[in-house]
Amino acid sequence: MPRNSMHNYIEKILRAKVYDVAEETPLDFAPTLSERINNKVYLKREDLQPVFSFKLRGAYNKIASLTAEQIQHGVIAASAGNHAQGVALAAKKLGIKALIVMPRTTPEIKIKSVKARGAKIVLHGDSYDEAYAHAMELVAEKGMIFIHPYDDPDVIAGQGTVAMEILRQHNADIHAIFVPVGGGGLVAGIAAYVKFVRPDIKVIAVEPDDADCLNQALIAGERVVLDQVGLFADGVAVRQIGAEPFRIAKQSVDQVMTVSTDEICSAIKDIFDDTRSVAEPAGALAVAGLKKYAEQNGLTQQTLIAIDSGANINFDRLRYVAERTQVGEHREILLAVTIPEVPGSFLKFCKMLGKRSITEFNYRYFDSRLAQVFVGISSSGAETDRQQLIAQLRDDGFPVTDMTGNELAKDHIRYMVGGHAPRELRERVYSLQFPERPGALLKFLMALGSQWNISLFHYRNHGAAFGKVLIGLQLADNQCGPFQHCLDVLGLAYREETANPAYRLFVGGSEAWLD
């Protein structure tokens, strides 16, 4: 980024008015995580802001910069959570009327939080994009001032005050600062400040591997729109990086790390172990990237800082987080193991495992010759441990399929192991996402009508805006296209899973098992 442009951001950051409402958050040492990865790890505790997120900084700085004439029109924003709360509190502090457009899928806890801060709410659409489009219609109709969550210089400058505090709080050597990325406002503000004041410090952006809009833009050399994004880390589930954040990031960000859902869940536990606070998935993103970066680079005895960006997590999501944490820490191995259906075979299998703890064991009789077992086994955490176990099982005559990285197995199949369909069904299986709002399932079933027979259905509520569904239907080859067209018309994200080994081994029809 040209130095004069960077200088402009430094001035804006230094003049930012965030401290009328935001707090200077602590930079806390994380002793447990530091010892485990043999580096000095610090957490920038943005989860301790009044709205439990850094978003307040940018929202307030933008609103405080409005002219008297603009203030008369009031402000409007589109958001499903943290930005909405930041805008609401900032507007309340400044005595300005605020309207927030939120998707109908927004959890009730977030709606109540925004209302409690004095903003009016309009629920519209099932996604952020639909809420944003409606907000822009209201801007044209009412003349209100739109407060963008990330693609605005004043918002970016407000977020940049996080970097200003970090460098003041820790003036010794810092190897890298890890920053979560959604639309890019936070990483742009931090990178602009750090690279001007301390260019020796690396700025590492961190994204979910299923919502990596910055990573894909850097690869393409221009902003791209992702076809779909994962929703687990809903606070960063953005399909396109902002224009101004991208301009800054491509000049100032050293590297982008992408992390999995399991790695994010593991990072939530790491933060809890050291702070006794529960980060939201987007809030733990930077810690997940920090751990992965240190491991991949063999880093030791370095100072690493991660932005703990928020703690607005629904309580009912904690069950899902806990389930995925062990795999994220590489401390649970999930396997499909084929065992002879003869007396003593289970005992032989368990003896071979020795003193390893079995975390899960699912089995149901189906075939008189072979038994298919879904098993979870504790691990030391080393990748070689999993490889050695699988090799040992195969050497002892147990065919094994590794399910540790199979999303279908972890989201659905492990809860469905109860036997295969008793006969050939000509079944096609799809995983898809329903918006979590009343009537969504009924709408889907009515759209299907009676033209296709449902042969399998599994759904679990994970406390997110979208629920995950596994559905099987009896479809002839010439019916697959019309069914997929129906899903496209409904606007549902889906993926065919008929060939997925987790399905075929545990719940597929007899033809799938015997192939």
178-210 pLDDT per residue, tens:
999 999 999 999 999 999 999 999 999 999 999
Contacts of 327 (CB under 8 A, 6+ apart): 262, 265, 334, 404, 410
The yes-or-no verdict on residue 515 having pLDDT over 50 is no
Average pLDDT, whole number, for the chain? 87
Phi-psi region of 464 (alpha: psi -120 to 50; beta: other; left: phi over 0): beta
- To the query of whether residue 142 is one of the catalytic residues in this protein, the response is no
Query: Can you give the three-state secondary structure of 296-364, one letter per residue?
Result: HCCCCCCEEEEEECECCCCHHHHHHHHHHHHHHCCCEEEEEEEEECCCCHHHHHHHHHCCCCEEEEECC
Count of residues in the chain = 515
How far apart are the C-alpha atoms of 116 and 89, rounded to whole Å?
9
The catalytic position among 12, 17, 55, 468 is 55
* Rounded alpha-carbon distances, angstroms, from residue 252 to 65, 163, 203, 255, 289: 26, 13, 8, 9, 18
- Torsion angle, alpha carbons of 238, 244, 250, 255, to 10: -40
Q: pLDDT value at position 243?
A: 97
Q: What is the mean pLDDT of residues 377-386?
A: 78
Short-list 392, 357, 388, CA closest to 375: 357
CATH number belonging to domain 57-146? 3.40.50.1100
Quote the tokens at residue 137.
């219609």
Please report the pLDDT score of residue 158 as a whole number.
98
pLDDT band at residue 363 using 50, 70 and 90 as cut-offs: low
Per-residue pLDDT at 514 exceeds 50: no
Cβ within 8 Å of residue 23, ≥6 positions away: 48, 49, 50
Topology of domain 3-54+153-323 in CATH is: Rossmann fold (3.40.50)
> Residue 311: left if φ>0, alpha if ψ -120 to 50, beta else—which one?
alpha
What pLDDT does residue 398 have? 87
- pLDDT classification of 420: cutoffs 50, 70, 90: low
Q: Parallel, antiparallel, or unpaired: how do β-strands 27-29 and 40-45 relate?
A: antiparallel
Q: Is 396 exposed, middle or buried (0-12, 13-18, 19+ CB in 10 A)?
A: exposed
Would you say residue 513 has pLDDT above 50? no
Whole-angstrom Cα distance, residue 41 to residue 35? 9
> Mean pLDDT throughout 264-286?
96
Token reading at 446: 């009515």
How many Å is the maximal CA-CA distance in the chain? 83
List every span in the chain annotated with CATH 3.40.50.1100: 3-54+153-323, 57-146
Q: Confidence band (pLDDT; 50, 70, 90) for 418?
A: low
- Containing 61, the helix (H) or strand (E) segment is helix 55-64
Catalytic annotation, pick one of 79, 127, 252, 309: 309
pLDDT range class, residue 143, cuts 50, 70, 90: very high
Domain 417-514, what fold?
Biosynthetic Threonine Deaminase; domain 3 (3.40.1020)
All CATH 3.40.1020.10 domain ranges in the chain, comma separated: 417-514
Would residue 357 show up in a list of annotated catalytic residues for this protein? no
Topology annotation, domain 330-405: Alpha-Beta Plaits (3.30.70)
Alpha carbon 376 to its chain centroid, in Å, reads 24
Residues of the chain with pLDDT > 90, as a percent, come to 53
Q: Can you tell me whether residue 204 is helix, strand or coil?
A: strand
